[in-house]
Structure 1
Amino acid sequence: MPIVVHVASFTFEPIADTYGDESFPTTKFGASTELDVGSSSPTRKQSFLRFVVTGIGNFPVIDTQLQTTVTASSTASGGAGGQVNSLSSNAWSEGLTTWNTRPVIDGPVLASNLLPVVQGQHVTFDLGARAVTADGTYNFALTSASSDAAKYESRESLTVANRPHLVVMLGQPATRRLPQVTITAPGAGSSFFDDQPVTFTATARDDRDGDLSGTIAWRSSLDGALGTGASVTAATLHRGTHTITATVRNATGLTGVATVQLTVTDRPPAVTITAPQDGRLFPVHFAATFTATATDNVDGDLGASLVWTSDRDGQLGTGRSITTSSLSVGDHRITASVTNSLGTAGSAAITVTVGNGAPKVKITAPADGSGVDEGTTVTLTATASDAEDGDLTPAIAWASDLQGALGTGGTVSVRLTAVGTHHITATAADSGGQTRAASITLTVYAAPPILT
């Protein structure tokens, strides 16, 4: 079975007590040393007690007892101990209450003792955990259904230990959890630019008050208050490292906090290389032109301040456009970079190659996939050019995978006699040994038999 452990108890003496006697309807008994109870009409008696309870605070009340003592009078015993009710009235007074002006007993029965009592007996009424719930003033009525009246000592008793006492027993207060706050965005360590809006979102929940997300207060260590709610957006944040704090408070004043750090930096200038295309091949000593744009949200157009560099040859020049024919042979990573007035750099890069490029070859006739009859003379036409050597069309070599070499030059006429599908190839070679070929397919049909 469960065991309830009380951590403290407070004992209170009444600040007022009295009784009313039906036999003496206008008599005031506030100064009497006894409290009488009984139910035989016309000699009914009812007693009333008032206590002021303090010091409970946030401790839960686990039990309350009304402790009384039967007087030593020979007429004090024999009847039942009686019952205790709560009273809503706080208007009755010890000095003025009589049977005729007694308060109405309107509260529930809190405890009862139906056993007979004897002189000098200590009688305890267990009022339970709900009779007293917090600091305040509490009024009780003590009555008895027995025709044999019982008499208890009042607060005016000369024996202090026998006076009525209200004992309030306290339990261990429940451990209160702080509201739980969780920042869901942005993530820890996020980085943003100073011209970029940042949205903060979080949830907050409390065991007592439920969802408190709508009351979250947001604050930046650099920019101060940011707003209130489950989601707030800061249009801009100052540059630097921010500690963002989300705070929420429940109805009892307990505060939950969550934090996240983020960094705000200056947005780099936007650099775009507009020419040449990435991967471009340049011949040796070719005058290559590089162009780019650069804009910045602080300084505007920075194109004139662009610096061009090659990872092989170093700095190439400055400005929106440069032309150079001195790039060394090989692959180059060309970078255009610029720095704004805040010291923030932006850049863009492409890769180009300088060297001996292979010739370009294009077959212009006949059409790829065409067909002719066996023995037909076909004119083959192509062009070839090279970045270093220029026009190589006269050096084009033609060949068929079915008839072998077909001739040399930009235009070659050849009689095709091998029936089948020919792969016709035009090949050009430059002075550096680079070659390039183009090919088409041409089908030669068997000639029909000649009737004689």
Structure 2
Amino acid sequence: MLLSILRSFALLSIMVIGFVLIVATGEDDSPKPAPPAPKPSEPTPPQITIHEPNVSFFNEGSNIYFRGEAYDPETKSNLEGSQLIWTSDLVGQIGTGGSFWLNWLSTGTHEITLEARSKSGGTASKTITLSINPHFNTRPEAEILSPADGTYFHINETIIFSGMAEDEEDAMFQPRQLVWKSSRHEKKLGTGFELQIQANTLAEGQHKISLTAWDSQNMPSEPDSITIHITKNHLPEVTIIFPTESNNKFTENDYIIFEGKAWDREDGLLPCTSLKWYSDKHEDAFGNDCLVRSNILSVNEHTITLVAKDSVGGKGTASTTITIIP
């Protein structure tokens, strides 16, 4: 009896072990999912350059030469023909290829775009602005009145830009037609005959500030421009002691005494060698001291400016007006 039970138990154990082996073997032999296919790499965009036109203003009917190129880094060659498409936002496609002439652009201000597409599908584009002036329309003129070219501003100061515009056809301009821009910022600074901005909204360093006037035909003036500097350094405080507003008329060839001083928050009283005297009627400085005696100024009304430079190059100014009579 016991022997029979042992035989039955052994047979059952063999069956269980066989079943486990079958299941395990079945799991090992089952197909495994394939790894995900690698994503195709994005095509490298071409490198675009627009060489011409290199000016942005033409009169109606002008024959304009367009020339550009696009380099494909993948094939290490320039794209050609229909791979280069030129368009205007006003009239649509205007040409294809690396270069062509055109004399039929409509009047107005066009955004001209060169789009390049490589064989692998890489795309890139570059845009320039082109103004076509109507027949018998005179281009407007813009002028920056203040601040003076080369002025330094501390980041805590308020900057006041002022300008004007003239046009033979348009008697008056609206403030929105005068546009101020900085070479350091993509967006315009603002519009108007006078514009106030905080210096700390501009990047520190040198800026080329431009004023463009747009007439009723949507034609731009040649931009008028000045250079300003934004600095964290406090600028010198400059004082002109003489001439004064009550003593500012002199006779030609008379020696005139010019006296001034400058104080700086970081440097204290600045040395006299850091002061220079200028007239708006003369290109070069006529003096370089706290006290200058000069008779070289011509018969005219002169704006006299005393410029003081501190130890880190920050400049402060003061101005007065004198008159030289015959």
Q: TM-score, normalised by structure 2?
A: 0.32
- Which structure shows the bigger proportion of residues in helix conformation? 2
Structure whose residues are more often strand by fraction: 1
